Structure 1
Amino acid sequence: MPETFEADVFNLAPVAMWIEDFSGVKRQFDIWRGQGITDIRSYLREDLSRVQECSQKIRVLSVNEKTLELFAARDFDHLLSNMDRIFRDDMLEGHITELEALWEGKARFSSHAVNYSLSGKRLDIQLRGVILPGHEETFERILITTEDVTEREEARRLERSNRRYAESMFKHSPVSLWVEDFSRIKRMIDDLKDGGIVDFRVFMDVHPEFVHQCMSEIRVIEVNKATLDLFCAPDEQTLLRRLRDVFRDEMDKPFREQLIDLWNGNLFHQREVINYALDGTERHVLLQFSVFPGHEQDWSLVQVALTDITARKKAEAYLEYLGKHDVLTKLYNRAFYTDELNRLERKSLRPVSAIIIDLNGLKVANDTLGHDAGDKLLRRLGEVLNGVVASPNSAARIGGDEFAILMPGADKQVAANLVETIYELLKINNQFYSASPLGISIGVATSEPGETLEAMVRRADMSMYEVKKAHYAEASLKAMPTG
């Protein structure tokens, strides 16, 4: 024990302290220098047995009470006889740093190491060493402190683990995630409030350019892989460069509502929006916006999650289509026709015309050629009517072989013109299907003042039946044998 140290100060120190003799290491260094070794780190890493050789030349002269306590040793002899249990596993790698510092002539060194107590507990150690004055040439007395930093290092490992976990969750999430900075938008909104603006919605009505300005102030910090996949982007740089292709057309309206949410202090909200992939295709997404905890005052870190609901929207649209359309003919169905008739009844727009059409010979085709043949006739008539009827008019299949066209605002002449167009297109269609020509019976009516539309449709229906009756009477005459 050096005379400069008081025994009680050494023993009562709150940090584990060792007095060690490194003179054997110094002699080994001299041998290596004589052999021409210059890069000690590379030389030691090349063969860790050289580190082991140096470690074996270190003599522990004394330790304090804190050292015995830290390493769960009964006494100094118990500690020395079990040094191989304390310094093991990857200890040699950490020891290289200390040896390198001494090789380079430094009087002080420090490193992080892993030791083990004699009870088997893993210890993270902050090791510091200093050559005591007067021993710089021989390394005969070096003071080593080994501070237990296990708790700190475990916290760091946990923090690193949590960060990696969060990063993995972000990068590999199946949902499109964006980390963005809305701080400039926060300042713009605060400036408006400070300026006395109370009704933000009215303000944006008067100043629509404010919405576009806010959109331009969003800074995208990072996106994940699911985002690149969703928007068909080859990489993040390409996506960020082409954001105007992603957020366009009707995006202003939902973003405006998002700004109103933020104005009202709603920092967590969601809504359905339409974006566009870089190949131009639509993406229906559920947008979920949230300000990260701790950033409520400046909005400098927010997350936007976009869940692709395109398939769901297409399914909903198809179900809605099925609710209003006849699948076979692609025309509206009877349910739509009934609703449309009721809607037009409530409107003041007059006159309204109706064209009732019956497909001749459908039953015969079904009975003699099969229902596939009948379906083909129905599809062909659907093609004809879809080709001539456009909004605000609507064509519907209202029965097995019966069709109706409603024409709001159309007088008798307009209705007659449409009937003529139907016959012209029917004629062209039959030229392509000369083996099975379509035949139809048409009845037309136009509403009279004070007449209900239901009564008007009945007149058109009756007119159609008269035409149909004449058609079958003529067909019967043709089928009768001649004398």
Structure 2
Amino acid sequence: MEKNYHKNIREAFITFLNHSTMKYFEFPFAHVDYKMILEDLLILSSANHVALNIYDGEKHALVTEEISSDEGQLKTLMEILGHPVKGKCWKLNEGDIIALKSKKLEKFPGLYELSDGEIPKTIASIIKAYFKIGDIYSIGLCHNDKLLGNILFFMGESNTLVDHEIIELFVHQLGIILLRKKAEEDLREKEIELNSVNEEMLSMNEELESSLHQLVAAEEELRDNYHQLKLKEEELKESEERWKFAIEGSGVGVWDWNLQTMEIHYSNKALEMFGYDEFEAIRIEETRDRVHPDDTKQVKKALAAHLEGETPIYETIYRVKCHNKEYKWILDKGKIVSYTEDGKPLRMVGTYIDFSERKQFEDEITKQKQIMESLFEYAPDAIARLDIQLQVIDINRKFTEIFGYNREECIGKHIDALIVYEEVKVEAEEINDKATQSMVVMAETYRKNKDGHLVPTIIRGGPTIVNGEIIGYHASYTDITERRKAEDRIKYLSYHDKLTGLYNRAYFEEQLEALDSYRYMPISIIIGDVNGLKLTNDVFGHLEGDNLLINVAEILIKGCRHTDIISRWGGDEFAIILPNTNEKEVIGICNRIKLECVQAKTEAIQISIALGYATKTSHTQKIREIIKEAEEKMYRHKLLENRSTRSQIINSLQTSLFEKSHETKEHAERMNNLGIKLGKRLGLNDNELDELSLLTLLHDIGKIAIPDSILTKPGSLTDEEWEIMKKHPEIGYRIAESSQELFHIADYILNHHERWDGNGYPQGLMGEEIPKLARILTIIDAYDVMTNSRTYKDPITHQEAINEMEKCSGKQFDPQITSVFIELLNEE
């Protein structure tokens, strides 16, 4: 159960992590809400405070970006430190950087050790005491081997950071978020720069086209004004130089393709981009050979579309083999700038833009998207994505598993129409209102599955926001069926005795306080104590003792009313609260319980309970005094009934022994007659004769605890069965020890299977170490067993028995007593 509880808690943390990560990826472009992240870290870690530092590579230092404290706490901290916290630089050495790049949590005992002495010990101690800080944990914010910053967890004095794996996974995801932010910022700068260059290129292209048109016009006017043509050519050359200069300065490579000669001229920047040193003309066949084989088809398709006039410009992204044989992603753009007299493309000009970093970033974004899709699809909770009207856009596998609907059945349907039932419609509307007001929703309730069964769930959700605009909503549903079952079981166990199923003392005390009022008077209390529990445990074992308590519980239930509160008060004590019950009624209930005890059928001992009762009839009486009075009456009854009860238990045991074994009343009587005769012949006094008489009746009382399968087995016992049988003297000894009437014969019972030569059991006593009455019993018991039939043997004759006893004299039997016994038998 504890394992399943700790398993339910860990799943909740993973769900929280998934939910938070999805939330961070919904941050606006190049923006991260550090305050929100620190609030999530506080929940996940149970820390008192969390701080986030950003790594400044130029300064080799961490700069405090955000800390989860209110303004009053920050002000106090600033006064203690003597400087603001946010924006503070904390120098790092190489060891610090290595530790942070390990991406593992590192524990520090205090601020002095964390700051490597930068915060003095006295100041650190003041801060620790004032803010009640315990251990401090640090973990690096990294992506691959790139350090982005770190997170600090300031734990309380009495708590610690438990699930390191969850925290480390969360921080790893956070590192990706921060990397995304940085990459998005860089990408925005690149896009701005690229847009500027493209605008300038377009302007230059327009200027170039204008110049070309002017050149054509100038050529037509060449016959009339050659001098004007030269001027135009100079203007065109100057314009081209400016265009090329602008392109080279922007970091963009330029190519110029003659479609008639199939030669391509590259700018220095283009050659540099591919790892070449000199400007050179390269044939189109060589250029095509450098395109990655997987991209050749798409390049040809884009180029053909432009050459055939289907697209205004040629544009495609592909990989090109550089001089070092490695491939680089480029964005290739171009346009036909001149045609032959018959209208065929003559010249085409274009640009290369290094697209490797952006492609890598796009691949990373695609990967993260796939990760998020996987987290959505395989999340341990049911998740539904909703549009602005709360209609289902998508569901994951767990939603189908919990509620029974597939995607086709859900998409386009209002979420409430699927899983909300009549009794919770108002609650569902309140949840929807919170979500539409941009509030985070969390509620523990029930939802209906496809078959109409109610599922206990925890609902979490809220708006889905992109670029500051709500585009829909999301909802997750945690199935807490098993948790509810566990809670119900825990609640039951907290108020019930595990063995008997009755209420326990905690519930008794709670109900006693609740029922102690005028409304329930007269209120009566019964205190009961089970007789013979220790004897049962000693003789039959604690399992049989448990069965005795269970039987007593059943008797109490039968004897009481359904309105009475029956509880197990202690080990062998029970307490009953009887609301609106006067003294006469409680006496009747006690009598019913005693009658049930008498009528109960048990295999071990007769069930017996000592009972005491008391009744509160006035509000001036203290209920604790009523309990004390009932308890005192119970102890008085137990004392008065003690001798009778023990006798009943012993008689019950003896009767049970006769019923389950070969021992019979006739055997006991024969043993008693022989014993008295032999005892008198040996000169025993009256007390010894009484003890011998009692011993002949109860010497095998310990067999009551031996299994029937061994006692009544017709054949020989196995070694294992014989070892069990040999325990009955010790069991009989414990029974006799527990009774004032029998304790004086306990040693005789223990030793009645000892042998004169020391080879007996259980103690291996020898000769006169064996009590005399035990030696007498051994002889008369052996004789009676030999001369009377048993299920496992036929009897032998009187003379055969005497011969056997003479043979065993001095070995199994006391030789002197044996001799006297044989004389006695011969006289008869």
- Give the TM-score, by structure 2 length: 0.41
Equivalent AA in structure 2 for residue 170 of structure 1: F
CA distance in 2, matches of 1:84, 1:411: 108
Consecutive unaligned residues of structure 1, counting only runs of 5 or more, are: 23-57, 185-217
Aligned partner of 1:399 in structure 2 is 570
Partner of 1:87: 291
Q: Which moved more, 1:390-399 or 1:151-160?
A: 151-160
Alpha-carbon separation, structure 2, partners of 1:456 and 1:64: 107
Partner of 1:438: helix, strand, or coil? Answer: coil
Structure 2 SS opposite 1:461: helix
Q: Quick one: distance in 1 between partners of 2:557 and 2:435?
A: 47
Shift of 1:401: 1.7
Superposed CA RMSD in Å reads 4.8
Of residues 447, 455, 465, the one that matches 2:616 is 447
Q: CA separation of 1:360/1:272 partners in 2, compared to 1, >3 Å: closer, same or farther?
A: same
By how many angstroms is 1:370 displaced? 1.7
**Equivalence map 1:429-440=2 (5 Å):** 430-431=600-601, 433=602, 437-440=606-609
1:20 is matched with 258
Single out whichever of 439-448 and 400-409 deviates more from structure 2.
439-448
Q: Is the 8 A contact 2:263 2:282 kept in 1?
A: no
CA 1:310–1:346 in 2, change beyond 3 Å: closer, same or farther? Answer: same
2:329 touches 2:359 (CA, 8 Å); kept in 1? no
- Give the corresponding residue for 1:141: 346
Provide the C-alpha distance between the structure 1 equivalents of 2:571 and 2:418, rounded to a whole number of angstroms. 47
**Alignment partner, residue 712 of structure 2:** none
CA distance in 2: counterparts of 1:166 and 1:436, whole angstroms: 68
* AA matched with 1:455: E
CA contact (8 A) 1:352 1:447 kept: yes
1:384–1:279 Cα change, 3 Å: farther
Change (3 A) 1:425 1:127: farther
Q: The residue matched to 1:141 in structure 2 has which SS?
A: strand
Contact 1:177 1:305 in 2 (8 A): yes
Indicate if the aligned counterparts of 2:458 and 2:477 stay in contact, CA closer than 8 A: yes
Offset of residue 104 of structure 1: 6.9
Q: Summarize the Cα distance change of 1:91–1:220 in structure 2 as closer, same or farther, 3 Å threshold.
A: closer
- CA–CA separation in structure 1 for the residues paired with 2:308 and 2:336: 14
Moved more, 91-100 or 472-481: 472-481
Residue number in structure 1 paired with 2:461: 289
> Which amino acid letter does the alignment assign opposite residue 451 of structure 1?
Q
Secondary structure of 1:301 counterpart: strand
Tell me the residue number matched to 2:397.
Answer: 225
Q: Does 1:59 align with 2:231?
A: no
Where does residue 58 of structure 2 map in the other structure?
none
State the 1:290 CA deviation: 3.5
For 2:564 and 2:342, the matched residues in 1 are separated by 103
Contact 2:273 2:354 in 1 (8 A): no
State which drifts further: 344-353 or 60-69: 60-69
The answer to whether 1:410 aligns with 2:581 is yes
Superposition deviation, residue 166 in structure 1: 2.2
Could you say which residue in structure 2 is the equivalent of 1:268? Answer: 440
**Residues 145-195 of structure 1, C-alpha deviations (whole Å, 9 max, x = no match):** 2453727656654543443232222223334433334x55xxxxxxxxxxx
- TM-score scaled to structure 1, two decimals? 0.64
Paired residue secondary structure (2:280): helix
Alignment check: 8 A CA contact 1:250 1:274 kept: no
Q: CA deviation at 1:93?
A: 1.9
| Aligned position for 1:329 | 500
Q: 2:300 maps to which residue?
A: 96
CA distance 1:19–1:387, change in 2 (3 Å): farther
For residues 290-340 of structure 1, give each alpha carbon's deviation from its aligned partner in whole angstroms, at most 9, with x where no partner exists: 433448775x53333444555555555544444433211122222332333
For 2:630, the equivalent position in structure 1 comes to: 460
Which residue is 1:112 aligned to?
A: 316
Deviation at 1:373? 0.8
Of the candidates 380, 405, 417, which is equivalent to residue 174 of structure 1?
A: 380
- Which residue in 2 is equivalent to 1:351? 522
In the superposition, relative to structure 1, how do residues 287 and 437 fare at CA in structure 2: closer, same or farther (>3 Å)? farther
Residue 461 of structure 1: how far off its partner (Å): 3.3
Counterparts of 1:357 and 1:124, CA distance in 2: 92
Aligned pairs (5 A) from 1:194-213: none
Verify the 8 A CA contact 1:98 1:110 in the aligned structure 2.
yes
Larger Rg: 2
Show the counterpart of 1:377. 548
The residue type paired with residue 617 of structure 2 is E
Q: In the TM superposition, what whole-angstrom CA distance separates every residue of 1:220-263 from its partner, at most 9, and x where no partner exists?
A: 3333233444x263734567889778555985697577578669
- Give the Cα–Cα distance (whole angstroms) in 1 for the partners of residues 274 and 570 of structure 2: 93
2:280 corresponds to: 77
Structure 1 equivalent of residue 533 of structure 2: 362
How many angstroms does 1:103 deviate by?
A: 9.4
Q: Which letter maps to 1:77?
A: E
In 2, are the aligned partners of 1:233 and 1:239 still within 8 Å (CA)?
no
Distance 1:163 1:463, change over 3 A: same
Measure the CA separation in 2 of the matches of 1:71 and 1:267: 53
Q: 1:59 to 1:325 in 2, by over 3 A?
A: same
Aligned in 2, Cα 1:101/1:471: closer, same or farther, shift over 3 Å?
A: same
1:124 and 2:330 matched: yes
CA-CA distance at 1:95 after TM superposition: 3.2
Contact 1:107/1:130 (<8 A) preserved: no
- Residue 37 of structure 1 corresponds to none
Offset at residue 383 of structure 1 (A): 3.7
- Bigger relative CO (Cα 8 Å, ≥ 6 apart): 1
Cα gap change, 1:469 to 1:91, in 2 (>3 Å): closer
* 398 and 296 in structure 1: CA distance in 2 versus 1, 3 angstrom threshold: farther
- The separation in 2 between residues aligned to 1:388 and 1:178, in whole angstroms, is 56
CA contact (8 A) 1:445 1:460 kept: yes
Give the direction of change, closer, same or farther, for the CA distance of 1:89–1:384 in structure 2 (3 Å limit): farther
- Consecutive unaligned residues in structure 2, runs of 5 or more: 1-211, 217-232, 652-689, 694-828
The aligned length equals: 407
Cα distance in 1 between the residues matched to 2:556 and 2:423: 33
Distance 1:417 1:219 in 2: 67
More deviation in 447-456 or 304-313? Answer: 304-313
Aligned letter for 2:383? L
Measured in 2, the distance between the counterparts of 1:386 and 1:238 equals 53
**C-alpha contact (below 8 Å) 2:440/2:460 kept by paired residues:** yes
Q: Matched residues in 2 for 1:288 and 1:144: separation?
A: 57
Q: 3-state SS of the aligned residue for 2:372?
A: helix
The alpha carbon displacement at 1:74 in A equals: 5.2
